Structure 1
Amino acid sequence: MSFLSRAAPVTRLSIAPARSAVYAASRPALFSTTPQRADKGPIDATKDTLKKADRIVSNAAVKGIEKGEQAGHKIKETFGHGAAKAEHEGKKAAAKGKETAQQAKEKTIDLGEQAREEAEELSGKA
């Protein structure tokens, strides 16, 4: 014990921290389940904000794509039944067009022959 009394003399400074330690221990501790924002720097806060924004935009894009696919399926379903009918009508119209073109060609040939005959008659009269 004599060693302790010689090595550590009692002063006012050594007693003062003991009093403040008692005061600090009696103070109520702060309790929180959420992390403090002060711990994060501006870069980490910005990263978190951008991640949240990216997630929101990605979810909206996925919903938009799904809605587009649903609309595409409905359009195919709606026009799928009409497509076969339209194809049949188109083929009928194409056949009728070919027939009309053939008739026009024949009429052109007939008119050309008539014009040649009249030209011969007029040149023979002249």
Structure 2
Amino acid sequence: MSFLTQTATRRVAMASRSVMAQAPRPFSMATRLQKNPVEATKDTLKQVDRKVSDKLVDGINAASKTAEKVQDTNIGSKVKGTAEQVKGEAAGKAEELKGKTAGKTEELKGEAKGTAQEAAGK
């Protein structure tokens, strides 16, 4: 064998070994879907925003249910009943004072008549 043939054979043999020693390639030929730090941060923020929004909606729903329960309970009727009671008491007190005033007026009329008769009889 000639010198050139030996050298070429060795180089081809070495080249084939170096090709075999390369890192293994992934099974899939598609590009890897890796997210850069900006995209990963955006996704994390979206998840956090979604969770916060869900909690806020839950809070709003709970508040509206509580408001409905307050309206549905007898609080309104109790307040109405108390108002009617106070109104009745005030009307009763007004009638009482009206009666006292009428009585006092009649009393003063009687005294005035008595005084007038005494003055006329003298």
TM-score (norm 2): 0.50
TM-score (norm 1): 0.49
